[in-house]
Amino acid sequence: MTLTRSIMLRAASVRDLKAIWEIEEASYAAPWPKETFFVDITFNADAKYFVALVDKRIVGFIGGWFKEGKLHIVNVATHPASRKSGVAKQLVLFLLDLARDLKMESAFLEVRRSNVAAQRLYEGLGFAVTGLRSMYYPDNLEDGLLMTKELRSAHTGD
């Protein structure tokens, strides 16, 4: 019998920074500095971060900025050992629900052109490519795809 382990979500705090940054470092060739997470979680009134836990261990996180009627998803990552089990999907869905509760009109994000896994994740949740951010990523000057999802329509795609 296969047991599906349940994924729990809760708001992140500075006590989670170590776990968040370990996932960040394992997930990106050019990870954000630890200080960026600290400043965003502690001082950015528009920012909200959440962590996903399986068996009480943090296995993923998401961060978004809620500003001027829009949710900007600024980071989402799942620990490599916990991928492909629905963690990121739960995190994005949760943030979208929160954005609707907060009367946001739309959600958007940037994703590397080469990051097919993330593009599939967002497409599956109703995001569509709506623009190009030329040479958006400074480490390798890779283009970013702008992906957007309306939150007010009756048919939200999720």
- Binding residues (CB under 6 A) for ligand COA: these are 27-28, 60, 76-78, 83-89, 111, 115-118, 120-121, 124
User: CB of residue 104 vs ligand COA: minimum separation in angstroms?
Assistant: 19
Residue placing its CB nearer to ligand COA in the complex, 117 or 152: 117
The type of residue at 122 is Y
Please give the C-alpha separations between residue 21 and each of 15, 109, 122, 154, in angstroms, as whole numbers.
Answer: 11, 20, 22, 37
Residue placing its CB nearer to ligand COA in the complex, 56 or 154: 56
Q: Are 50 and 11 in contact (CB under 8 A)?
A: yes
Residue placing its CB nearer to ligand COA in the complex, 81 or 103: 81
User: CB of residue 132 vs ligand COA: minimum separation in angstroms?
Assistant: 15
